[in-house]
Amino acid sequence: MTNPSTINILISNDDGIFALGVRTLANTLAQAGYQVTVVCPDRERSATGHGLTLHRPIRANIVEDFFHGKITAWSCSGTPSDCVKLALSTLMESRPDFIISGINHGSNLGTDVLYSGTVSAAMEGIIEGIPSIAMSLASFSSRQFQPGADFACRLVQQLQDYPLPDSTLLNVNIPPVAADAIAGVMLTRQGLRRYIENFEKRFDPRGKSYYWLAGELVTDIEQPEHIHLPSHILTDVQGIQQNYITLTPLQYNLTDVVSFEYLQKNKWLDNSPDIK
């Protein structure tokens, strides 16, 4: 078993530096003996996706007296992806062995991962070739982050013994129940989450209109088949409903293999109009 003190972990999130989820995760890993650096947005930056700050400066400040005494923590004025880029290029003295993003307050299931700042911060890690994990508690009201933090310790040890293939991100969702009520750990495929989009029209004190997005989750929705995985493998959406910790491997390569093969087989380009 690898000595935790030799393992360097970078932690980020999209809920902000003072979120309970990131504090619980970072302190738990530090108490287990890991070297922990935290670089998080200075405020909530949920649903920012993989956005970067290009048109204004990014500021970073040391955060003291909030985390475990052995943790070096920074707040950053940028997005979650900014935080990871800044940490890797400037703030950290050595390259981390792992990047963990979270623990997010709220799930990141199915197509949520396309919008998630939590997942994007971890994705930034695998773009740089660093094993990365995104972690989320599947509830906005629950504050039971400790089961997820304890699982993160076990998962990091597992990944040391059995490393992931290159460019693989583990998206982990924790059911919002007590530790003894968790059914187990399930390897899942990415599912589908659909929302009814509702832009509520409001007016500011000067009478000018603005819109507030208030999408409603459609809970009764059929989960899609996967082109490469059998249907008996549950989606992350289905697994969390059964109180399993779900592990879904993700990658940043979005190439559609089926459509590629279709276009190639049907000589689509041979029949397409020339572009001059």
Residues annotated as binding site for a divalent metal cation?
Answer: 14-15, 46, 104
**C-alpha–C-alpha distance, residues 252 and 127, integer Å:** 8
**HEC per residue, 181-243:** HCCEEEECECCCCEEECCEEEEECCCCCEEEEECCEEECCCCCCCCCCCCCCCCEHHHHHHCC
- Enumerate the known binding-site residues: 14-15, 46, 104
Where does residue 72 rank: exposed (0-12), middle (13-18), buried (19+ CB within 10 A)?
middle
Burial label for 41, CB within 10 Å (0-12, 13-18, 19+), is: buried
Separation of CA 167 from chain center: 14
| 207, two tokens | 């009478």
Packing angle between helix 20-31 and helix 146-161, nearest 10 degrees? Answer: 50
Neighbours of 31 (CB within 10 A): 14
